[in-house]
Structures are given as C-alpha cells and as structure tokens.
C-alpha cells in the first residue's frame, strides 16, 4: 500500500492550498492512498455519515481513495481488520473490546468514538409477561451470532442482575430475528434499538407494542459506535488513518447538522432506501445514542478514560476474561482532529 509523505498528506488535506496552483505543468501529484473501510451493517442512516464524507470529497481532500463496504454485524468488524480484508472499520466498540481482550496480540485499536452511548438493547412484546430484565430468565432470545447485543448480553446480565445461564439464545439470520418475535417464536430479541425497533414497526409491531430495555438504562453505560483499525495499519499508513478519522468526523458532524443531505446521499447509494424510515431511524439514533449532554458540552470523541475503563472491565468480567486491558492501550486519540473541529454547531 502506498505510504503518503507528510507533504503529500498536507496537500491532500488542503493544509497547503497554494501547492497545487504553483506546481509546474506536467508535475504529477501523489497518487491517492487506497483505504478499505468496512461498516457495521447495511447502509443505513446511523452509518451513512461515512457515505456522506465520501460523496462530499472529504476522503479525497485527505489524499485517500476509499472503498466503503457494508458489514454483517459489529462483531464481524474486528476479525476483518485483523485478518486483513479491511484497513479500518466502523462498529460498536464493545465487541471490539471483547475481541482485543481475547486476542491481546491482535493490535486492534480504537481511534475515535462517534456514539456516546451504545444502542444495545433487548426488546420484548409489551403485551407479554416480561416487564423487567430479570423476567428474561427462562426465556428464549433470538439474534444472529455476530449481533453486538447478543455478544454483550453477559455484561448486561451481570449489570442488571440476570442469571445469564437461564437465558437461551436462538441463532438466526438477521432477517429472521424480528419476525420470530412478531410470530411469538421467540420471547425477545437483542440488537440495536436503531435497527430492531424500526424493523419490528415495519412488520406490524409498532413502538407502543414493544418493550425496549436499553442496556444503559440498566447499569451498563457503554460507549457505542467507534472507528477501529490496527497498530499494523497505523505503522504503515499513519497519515491515512489521520485523514480518514478527520473525514469521518466531518461526515458525522454534517449528518447532525444536515440530516436531509445525509438521507439524499443514502438514497443515491441505495435507491431502495425508505427515506421516511431512515429519517425516523436517524432521529432515534440522535436521541438515544449519539447526542448526549456530554457531547453537547465537549464535542465528538471526548472520551472519559475512567468511563471507558469501567466499560472494559464490565466486558472482561462478563466473559470471564483476565482483567488486563487498559483504556490507554486500546483508545488512541492521537489521530483525532482538533477539539474545535469536533464540536457540534
């Protein structure tokens, strides 16, 4: 993979605006550096900030030729990065913590946190007998194996006082998860509120008919969506990482300030996008996950080390892993843009 010089990176990022205009005719510019970026899920409003950043040229300005691929679940992103199919990824931070705790030599790191809270939840029918987390004992929950809500359920169970050994998980394809709850073939599901709550509404189980148990409302206040990469990729292409993080933060801020532009981009990339549904998903994501008082005061990726460490310890304890991962080993803020460029307008 080509490595950008400091000067080439600055020119691509626009830090030296006169360089291009003063270059002699025929002088070749540095070739854009390729970047393979994987998202957590299908292209939807919560991850469409990456598409908006690409369409608005933020990656090109940073000297990056980006390929953005949809994902199959947050749990699948760390193996993709470590395995080499992708260079960077966007996914829920908590399966990444688990992966690194289980694979301490993998070199997985987080370079930005875009969602101040995790969208992890369990959803049951409002007309059923499950009224609080402990009522999940003895019940069946449906979820894909890679679902972040399923992977982090042991941590939720510990925080909420649930005997996780008394909860049975049914492994299903993503498309079958919500229908199983609607057909009463499962007592509940785990997932992201931004995905499952709206999928249920779309097949006949509207919001008032759902009982949503957000993990953060029951003692597990974890961070959410994050930008991930590996130390190996950072060593090869530090300026690509820096440029990509800047582009993604810009795209995220634009999504907050101009959601209609994000929705238009999403519709352009995915012509079958239900714009009304994605608008509702965006609003749900902003309200429940992304924009908190802390973010309003401090901006994007203003990570509190103590809170992150508490989340790491909760994940390690839930999976009976050694208590050894330190927040400073996992979260590297070095590649973030300046604080003023991370504040919401």
Write down the pLDDT at residue 109: 98
Query: 17: pLDDT confidence band, cut at 50, 70 and 90?
Result: very low
Look at 1-10, 62-71, 118-127, 253-262 and tell me which has the smallest mean pLDDT: 1-10
- In which order are the strands placed within the sheet that holds 64-69? 64-69, 33-38, 88-92, 225-230, 108-113
Look at 20-24, 59-63, 168-172, 179-183 and tell me which has the smallest mean pLDDT: 20-24
Write down the pLDDT at residue 75: 86
Write down the pLDDT at residue 326: 96
Query: Cα 157 from chain centroid?
Result: 22
Write down the pLDDT at residue 49: 98
Mean of all residue pLDDT scores within the chain? 91
Q: Which two tokens stand for residue 105?
A: 């030599």
Q: Is the pLDDT higher at 14 or at 133?
A: 133
pLDDT higher than threshold 50 for residue 21 = no
pLDDT higher than threshold 70 for residue 18 = no
Q: Which two tokens stand for residue 265?
A: 């981009």
Per the listing, tokens 């990176």 go with 9
Write down the pLDDT at residue 73: 82
Query: 345: pLDDT confidence band, cut at 50, 70 and 90?
Result: confident
pLDDT higher than threshold 90 for residue 8 = no
Query: Cα 132 from chain centroid?
Result: 27
Q: How many CB atoms lie within 10 A of CB 266?
A: 23
Write down the pLDDT at residue 27: 40
Indicate yes or no: pTM above 0.75: yes
Give the 3-state secondary structure of the chain.
Answer: CCCCCHHHHHHHHCCCCHHHHHCCCCCCCCCCEEEEEECCCCCCHHHCHHHHHHHCCHHHHCCEEEEEECCCCHHHHHHHHHHCCCCEEEEEHHHHHHHHHHCCCCCEEEEEECCCCCCEEEEEECCCCCCCHHHHCCCEEEECCCCHHHHCHHHHHHHHCCCHHHCEEEECCHHHHHHHHHCCCCCEEEEEHHHHHHHHHHCCCCHHHEEEEEHHHHCCCCCCEEEEEEHHHHHHCHHHHHHHHHHHHHHHHHHHHCHHHHHHHHHHHCCCCCHHHHHHHHHHHHHHHHCCHHHHHHCCCCCCHHHHHHHHHHHHHHCCCCCCCCHHHHECHHHCCCHHHCCCC
Which of 239, 308, 305, 332 shows the shortest CA–CA distance to 94? 308
CA angle 193, 48, 86 (to 5 degrees): 100
Write down the pLDDT at residue 25: 42
Write down the pLDDT at residue 1: 40
Which of 61, 63, 107, 101 shows the shortest CA–CA distance to 88? 107
Beta pairing, strands 108-113 & 225-230: antiparallel
Domain positions in the chain: 6-116+223-341, 120-218
CB 131 within 8 A of CB 211: yes
Comparing 6-116+223-341 with 120-218, is the CATH topology the same?
Answer: yes
- Tell which CATH architecture fits domain 6-116+223-341: 3-Layer(aba) Sandwich (3.40)
Query: 177: pLDDT confidence band, cut at 50, 70 and 90?
Result: very high
Write down the pLDDT at residue 29: 55
How many Cα atoms occupy the beta-carbon half-sphere of 243 within 13 Å? 32
Residues 242-257: what's their mean pLDDT? 98
Query: Which class for 134: exposed (0-12), middle (13-18), buried (19 or more C-beta within 10 A)?
Result: middle
Write down the pLDDT at residue 173: 95
Query: 309: pLDDT confidence band, cut at 50, 70 and 90?
Result: very high
pLDDT higher than threshold 50 for residue 28 = no
Pick the CATH number of 120-218 from 3.40.50.10860, 3.40.190.10, 3.40.50.970, 2.60.40.1080: 3.40.190.10
Q: Please measure the distance between the N-terminal and C-terminal CA atoms of the chain and give it in whole angstroms.
A: 36
pLDDT higher than threshold 90 for residue 14 = no
Share of the chain above pLDDT 90, in %: 83
- Residue pLDDT, tens place only, 70-113: 998 888 999 999 999 999 999 999 989 999 999 999 999 999 99
pLDDT higher than threshold 80 for residue 19 = no
């Amino acid at each position: 993979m080509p490595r950008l010089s400091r000067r080439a990176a600055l020119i691509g990022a626009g830090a030296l605006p006169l360089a291009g205009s003063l270059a002699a005719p025929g002088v070749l510019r540095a070739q854009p550096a390729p970047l393979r970026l994987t998202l957590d899920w299908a292209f939807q409003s919560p991850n469409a900030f990456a598409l908006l950043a690409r369409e608005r040229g933020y990656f090109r300005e940073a000297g990056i030729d980006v390929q953005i691929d949809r994902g199959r679940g947050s749990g699948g992103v760390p193996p993709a990065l470590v395995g080499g199919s992708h260079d960077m990824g966007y996914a829920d931070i908590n399966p990444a913590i688990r992966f690194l705790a289980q694979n301490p030599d993998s070199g997985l790191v987080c370079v930005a946190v875009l969602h101040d809270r995790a969208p992890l939840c369990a959803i049951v029918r409002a007309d059923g007998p499950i009224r609080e987390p402990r009522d999940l004992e003895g019940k069946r929950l449906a979820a894909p194996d890679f679902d972040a809500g399923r992977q982090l359920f042991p941590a939720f169970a510990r925080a909420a006082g649930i005997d996780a050994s008394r909860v049975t998980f049914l492994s299903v394809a993503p498309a079958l998860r919500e229908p199983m709850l609607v057909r009463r073939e499962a007592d509940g599901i785990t997932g992201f509120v931004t995905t499952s709550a709206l999928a249920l509404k779309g097949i006949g189980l509207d919001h008032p008919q759902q009982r949503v148990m957000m993990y953060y409302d029951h003692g597990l206040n974890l961070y959410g969506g994050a930008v991930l990469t590996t130390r190996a990729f950072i060593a090869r292409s530090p300026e690509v990482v820096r440029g990509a993080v800047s582009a993604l933060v810009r795209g995220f801020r634009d999504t907050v300030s101009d959601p209609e532009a994000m929705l238009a981009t999403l519709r352009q990339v995915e012509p079958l996008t239900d714009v009304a549904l994605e608008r509702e998903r965006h609003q749900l994501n902003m309200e429940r996950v992304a924009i908190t008082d802390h973010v309003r005061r401090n901006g994007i990726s203003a990570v509190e080390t103590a809170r992150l460490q508490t989340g790491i310890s909760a994940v390690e304890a839930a999976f009976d892993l050694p208590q050894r991962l330190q927040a400073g080993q996992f979260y590297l803020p070095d590649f973030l843009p300046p604080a003023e460029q991370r504040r919401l307008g």
